[in-house]
A and B are shown apart, each in its own frame.
Chain A
Amino acid sequence: MHARVKCEGCHTDITEIPHKPAKKVDCLVECHIVEPSSEKKFSHKDVETFLATSVHGRLDNEGKEKKYVEDYPNCKNCHDNPLYRPLSFFKKVRPGISEASLGRCRVCHKKEEFVFQFYNHVTTRLHKSRNPLNIAEMCGRCHDDPALVARHELSTKAVFSYGETFHGKAASFLDERVPDCLDCHVNKGESVHQMISHKDPKASTHDNNRGKICATIDCHPSASAKFASYGVHAEFSLVQSPAQYFFTVFFIILTGCTLLPLMGIIFLDIVRRFFPHAEMGRRK
């Protein structure tokens, strides 16, 4: 996606080759792309504001640094060099570029590079910019780290418990239709950087708003508020989810205590067939 930004657009202090030790890139720098609607130089500055006020911001409400501040993410913790994920809509929606559509673009637009960039940019923005599995893996780098979960007293290894659900399992098979972390944890229409704590009444995951998460037009439009009341991040933990814990233990014991003895009996039966005349004691 950054193909139009030259190296110096981000590495602003490099002016010669070979270059001297370079400064770390400031992602909020104004680059040399002009944003067409405002005709101003493009920048990611707004993201800084969003992130600062989100649950991932480094300062608390009083402007003090949060505890374990080094755990809070910066741009590069979540963002690799982003890649286009173009879509074709020509006959059916499918991943990839539609040559037929490109042909239509070329009627008016003569510059091949422009056509290619514009097509990729627009179609990538019309759906998830990353696959749900990639999103989950990205969040999991922090939220599945047991030490970080414990340090911040989080209730769950979030991506692990997501992976235990129907949605998580479908995501692991690369299904694009299932919700990923961002679909539930960000209010619709807002930037994904504006993720707020579930304790905040404005948060999509707040108890008062949770019912609306599932009932969106793209997911389960006729779902009631109760539909969203199930434990999405239920873990196998007596403290965190006692009901699920006892159910799981019950079924584990039921399955184990039924199938293991059954297999044991089959095993002994086969052994007996190998030694049909063997006896434990001496024959009287």
Chain B
Amino acid sequence: MKNFLFKIYMLGFLVLTVFFMVIIWKVTFAHIFHEYHDRHEAQEIAKFKEGKEAPTDKSTFEKIILESDERVKHYLGYKILEETRIKGHFHHIGFDIGPDKRSYCVDCHGDMPHDAVKEIRAFLNMHAFFVGCETCHVKLEKAQKTGVYKWYDRTTGEIVASPVAKEKPGSFRAKIIPFESVNGKLQRVDSQERMDFAREYEEREDTLTEAQKSRAKKLIHKIVHKQPYMCEDCHQKEKPLLPLAEIGYPKERIDSITGTEAVGMIKNYTKFYMPKMLLPGEANKKK
């Protein structure tokens, strides 16, 4: 036993020696090679530039995707603010929400599916960050209707506790999904069965005939109602569609959500103008 422990001890010591050798190599001789290589690379670029060869334009993919991935930390002393830095921009408003891996709707329709009505598409897409598609587009009737809504994690798809109290509005990593009643049991509307069917269709789409595709799409969209729930179905005091208190909203937020301002604005205005109060001095200038 003593011999065995001694061997283990020696083996650990051996690994430690190799580890130190690597570190010493890196900070000594490898450092020289690295520095030389860096300088050499710069000189190569200079030669290239002197040759007046036009620099190759970066692809759109590089500009939009790769260059927008830089993260910066602002050291404010009392706190550190970290954000995505978008090259050439003044406001760095990167979304840190992450993709919705559970929803089979976004596989085809995307994370920002609302583009038809220009005036309200931004509002609708903003809601799509935390409201599952089925919440508005599926209208459960009679026995199916439960009035139960829960939050699911965008990455794992699991049902999770309400993020409302812990996170800031706009940064929830969860979405609301309705539950239906199937044979007396509660079941989330984006059931495993529906999800598997839609994903199988997606995989085999290229091999299907037009008639088969049409039938499959009809079945996938069978639960989708032609007329989705509208803004005022939730944004109302009397009987809002979502049980806001049950899904974790505090009273002040419920008052704000069910107030008439948001819906009134969308219903009553067809064109939005900047209010004059936001342009101080402009009114006097016109006079």
Of the candidates B42, B49, B75, B88, the one whose C-beta lies within 8 Å of that of A134 is: B75
- Which residues of A (152-206) have their CB < 8 Å from a CB of B? 153, 157, 174, 176
The contact of B29 among A76, A97, A252, by CB within 8 Å, is A252
For window 16-39 of B, CB contacts with A under 8 Å fall at 17-18, 20-21, 24-25, 27-29, 31-32, 35, 38-39
Per-residue CB contact flags for chain A residues 143-158 toward chain B (1 = under 8 Å, else 0) read 0001101110100010
A8 touching B274, Cβ below 8 Å? yes
**B14→A150 contact, CB < 8 A:** no
Q: List the A residue with the shortest CB-CB distance to B74.
A: A83
**In the complex, chain B residues whose CB is within 8 Å of the CB of A256:** 24-25, 28-29
Q: Which B47-75 residues have C-beta < 8 A from chain A?
A: 49, 72-75
The answer to the question of A21 belonging to the interface, with a C-beta cut-off of 8 Å to chain B, is no
Q: Which residues of B contact A75 (CB under 8 A)?
A: 90
Size of the chain B interface, CB-CB below 8 angstroms: 49
Q: Give chain B residues whose Cβ lies under 8 Å from the Cβ of A134.
A: 73-75
Which listed residue, B27, B72, B89, touches A137 by the CB 8 Å rule?
B72
0/1 string, A114-147, CB within 8 A of B gives 1: 0000000000000000110110010000000011
Give bound CA distance, A76 to B86, whole Å: 11
Chain A's closest residue to B78 (CB) is: A96
Min CB–CB distance B27 → chain A (angstroms): 8
A8's contact among B41, B75, B271, B279, by CB below 8 Å, is which? B279
- B77 CB to nearest A CB, Å: 3
Whether B46 contacts A150 by the Cβ 8 Å rule is yes
Q: Which of A16, A79, A146, A157 contacts B90 (CB 8 A)?
A: A79
B14 touches A267 (CB 8 A): yes
Residues of B within 8 A of A150 (CB): 42-43, 45-46, 49
Say if the beta carbon of A222 comes within 8 Å of chain B: no
A149→B42 contact, CB < 8 A:
yes
Stretch at the interface among A102-110, A211-219, A225-233, A270-278: A270-278
Q: Is B42 touching A176 in the complex (CB atoms < 8 A)? A: no
Pick the 3 closest A-B CB pairs, nearest first: A95-B77, A256-B28, A150-B46
Given contacts A14-B274, A134-B73, A151-B45, 4 further A-B contacts (CB under 8 A): A32-B281, A260-B28, A264-B21, A267-B21
- List A residues at the B interface (Cβ < 8 Å): 6-8, 14-18, 25, 32, 68, 75-76, 79-81, 83-87, 95-97, 130-131, 133-134, 137, 146-147, 149-151, 153, 157, 174, 176, 235-237, 249, 252-253, 255-256, 259-260, 263-264, 266-267, 270-271, 273-274
14 A/B residue pairs, CB under 8 Å, sorted by A? A6-B278, A18-B272, A68-B49, A75-B90, A95-B78, A97-B78, A134-B73, A235-B39, A252-B32, A259-B28, A260-B24, A260-B28, A263-B20, A263-B24
